[in-house]
Amino acid sequence: MENLPQPSLPALILGLVTGLVLTAIGVGFGFAQGLTVQIIILSAIATLILFVWGWRYVLGLFLRRAPDTATDGPSPLRQAWNQYRWPLFGLALILLAFVVLSLTVEGFFNIWNVLSLFILLGILVLTRTLGRQFQQNRSAFIGIMVLAGLFSVGSMNIEGFASGNNIKSMLLFASFLGLASIGQTLVALLGGLDLSIPFIIGAANVGLLYLISLGVPPWLATIVVLAIGTTLGVINGFLSYKLQGQALIVTLGTGFAISGGVQIVTSIGSQYSGNVFGTVPAWLANLSAMNGTTFGLPFPPVIAIWGVIALILIVGMRLTVYGRFLYALGVNRTSASRVMISEMRYWVIAYALSGFFAAMTGSLLLGWSGGGFIGVGDQYLFLTLAAVVVGGTSLLGGAGGYGFTVIGVLVLQVLSSFLVGIGLKFEWQQFIFGLLILPMVALYARSPHIRTQI
């Protein structure tokens, strides 16, 4: 950022004036809506700062690019056509679909849908133009754009979508998925896969309730479950490291084994064959129930837990030597082991964390549902993968990070909430969900053509 060319003085002044005008408009609207003065002042300052920052840096990025375009070749119009051919086709396709939908579906052509269309087109244009300027973290930018677009479209079309309760419930489910995806992200950064996560979640869910129903103190039972999850992760990591490239089957195998084993243990001496009954302690229920409170604040603590862990992971992976080594191993394991990074240790640690967080998700899900169910984690088999992939972490290792996965989790959650909100049935939800993952990923995770890789 330091070596960016600065905008000229008139440009800076123009930006400042525009920002001031915008802020004034915002303040006017704030008073018109009768908000409190503190909020108006805060938002005015935020608007101004954001705008000036954007003006200074984003414009700078464009300025640097500007001289490159003046080259010889075909006429500018033709150049533009060559460069933007496919996006234009895409735009035309979307417009066509919109027109067809408006003509066929009764009441489709209303102001909110037109606005949604503009937001969608805006996202596309922004990602195609502005997204190119970001050398790194492009997927994060696009992810946030998609998230903002989805959220605004949702809140326009669905009543109560942007209400506090709905946001709370979205964050609650997002935090379960987010915690379950931690392991998948770490493992994907190394180039592995962990399919045992859903099984460990289910096993922890049933196993914890079983231990509690046996009379073990809940805190001890939780520690035991977490320890078993971590142990399984260690086994997974060790085996996956030894059997390079077979992580998929190894983790699947250990997953089947633990889910079968826990069910055997819980059904010995029980006539309900696998169903466990018991009471969940109040503190565990409070941790992840919708009406839970965090130090008196009205949101379930699991959201705060997720936030803190996400923060630690994001900062830790960027700044600590452990995080950097993890990336180094993912990018090129040969050179990483040449500089004395123990490959096995990182594999084992990544999988152990994966097992730990899977067990934690299972325990928290017990608090949410209040009853043990072995299949509670089943949906996370592909959802954790989808969150990692949609966020922009490469499954081949080395690129991405947990911050990306957080964005991916939020996008998936808002999307599914939106699909539920417009009243789609489960099967249609899944269908559209599947169809939407592909274009979302295609916005940024396209690999270069083979001829540029030689």
Partner 1 sequence: MSQPLSGTEPRKAAAQTEAQGGRSNPFLLMPITMFFALLALAVLRSPSLMTSSGIGAAIIVATPLILATYALMASAISGRGTVDLSIGPLIGFINVTLIQLHGAGLLENPIAVFLYAMAVGALYQFVFSLIVIFVRVQPIIVSLSGYLALTGINLVILPRPGGVAPPFMAEWGYGTTIFSPILVILLLASAAWLLFTATAFYTHLRLMGSDERAAYTSGVPITIVRIGAHLISGCFAGLAAICFTALIASGDPSQGTTYTLIAVTALVLGGASLAGGRGGVFGSALGALNLYLITFVLATFNFGTVQSFVTNLAYGTILVVSLLLTLLIPVIQRYIRNFSPLLYFVALSVVVLGVILHATFEYAALGAAGAFLPGPLDMQAALTGPLEIATLSSATEALRLSAAPLVLSALLLVVIAVFLRLALGQSDRRTIAPAVAVVVAALVLAGAYAVSDTVGRPDVEVSE
Minimum distance of partner 1 from residue 239's CB (angstroms): 6
Look up residue 297 and give its DSSP letter: B
Task: Determine phi and psi for 297, rounding to 5 degrees.
Answer: -85, 145
Taking the C-alpha atoms of residue 398 and residue 80, their distance in angstroms, rounded to an integer, is 34
348 makes contact with partner 1 (CB under 8 A):
no
* Residue 429 touches partner 1, criterion: CB under 8 A: yes
How far apart are CB 395 and partner 1 at their closest, in Å?
6
Instruction: Say whether residue 389 binds partner 1 (CB under 8 A).
Output: yes
Q: Does 375 bind partner 1 (CB under 8 A)?
A: no
**Contact status: 338 vs partner 1 (CB under 8 A):** no
Stretch that binds partner 1, among 45-53, 100-108, 301-309, 378-386 (CB under 8 A): 378-386
Q: How far apart are CA 406 and CA 184, in angstroms?
A: 12
Q: Is 426 an interacting residue with respect to partner 1 (CB under 8 A)?
A: yes
Q: What single-letter DSSP state applies at residue 353?
A: H
Choose one: 122-130, 166-174, 361-369, 432-440; the region binding partner 1 (CB under 8 A).
432-440
Among 66, 77, 339, 442, binds partner 1 (CB under 8 A): 442
Q: Should residue 384 be labelled a site residue for partner 1 when binding is judged by CB under 8 A? A: no
Taking only Cα atoms into account, the Rg of the chain, rounded to an integer number of angstroms, comes to 25
The whole-angstrom separation of Cα 120 and Cα 401 is: 26
Per CB under 8 A, 273 contacts partner 1: yes
Query: Buried b vs exposed e over 392-424: b needs ≥16 C-beta within 10 Å?
Result: bbbbebbbbbbbbbbbbbbbbbbbbbbbebeeb
Taking CA atoms, 336 is separated from 189, 241, 453, in Å, by 14, 15, 22
Q: In a 10 Å sphere around its CB, with 0-12 CB exposed, 13-18 middle and 19+ buried, how is residue 17 labelled? A: exposed
Retrieve residue 309's tokens: 């862990």
Residue 382 near partner 1 by CB under 8 A: yes
> Could you tell me the two tokens for 201?
């979640």
Within positions 223 to 252, which residues make up the interface with partner 1, using CB under 8 A? 239, 242-243, 245-246, 248-250, 252
Count of residues touching partner 1 (by CB under 8 A): 54
Q: Where are the alpha helices (DSSP H) in 218-246?
A: 218-242
Residue 269 binds partner 1 (CB under 8 A): no
Q: Is residue 39 classed as helix, strand or coil in its secondary structure?
A: helix
> Which residues share a beta bridge with 294?
297
Question: Stretches 58-66, 97-105, 355-363, 435-443: which one binds partner 1 (CB under 8 A)?
Answer: 435-443
Return the residue of 349, 385, 387, 414 that touches partner 1, per CB under 8 A: 385
Q: How far apart are CA 129 and CA 148, in angstroms?
A: 17
Return phi, psi of residue 188, to 5°. Answer: -65, -30
**Would you list the DSSP string of 185-208?**
HHHHHHT---TTHHHHHHHHHHHH
Instruction: Report 83-142 residues binding partner 1 (CB under 8 A).
Output: none
Q: DSSP class of residue 161?
A: T
Contact status: 28 vs partner 1 (CB under 8 A): no
260 binds partner 1 (CB under 8 A): yes
Regarding 11 and contact with partner 1 (CB under 8 A), the answer is no
**Tokens for 250?**
């190894």
Q: What's the number of CA atoms in the CB half-sphere (13 Å) around residue 7? A: 19
| Binding-site member from 212, 258, 328, 348 for partner 1 (CB under 8 A) | 258
The distance of Cα 91 from the centroid of its chain, to the nearest Å, equals 26
- Nearer Cβ to partner 1, position 206 or 364? 206
Complex with partner 1: residue 268 or 321, whichever CB lies closer = 268
Whole-angstrom distance, CA of residue 81 vs CA of residue 430: 36
Q: How far is the CB of 216 from partner 1 (least distance, A)?
A: 22
* Residue 112 or 431 with smaller CB distance to partner 1: 431
Percent of the chain as helix, strand, coil, to the nearest 5: 75, 0, 25
* Closest approach of partner 1 to the CB of residue 267, in Å: 5
What is the Cα–Cα distance from 22 to 6, expressed in whole angstroms? Answer: 22
CB of 247 to partner 1, least distance (A): 10
The reply to whether 433 sits near partner 1 by the rule CB under 8 A is yes
Q: Does 209 bind partner 1 (CB under 8 A)?
A: no
Shortest distance (Å) from residue 389 CB to partner 1:
5
What is the pattern of x (binds partner 1, CB under 8 A) and - over residues 274-313?
x---------------------------------------
395 in contact with partner 1 (CB under 8 A) = yes
User: Which residues of the shown chain bind partner 1 in the complex (CB under 8 A)?
Assistant: 239, 242-243, 245-246, 248-250, 252-261, 263-264, 267-268, 273-274, 382, 385-386, 389, 394-396, 426-435, 437-438, 441-442, 445-451, 453-454
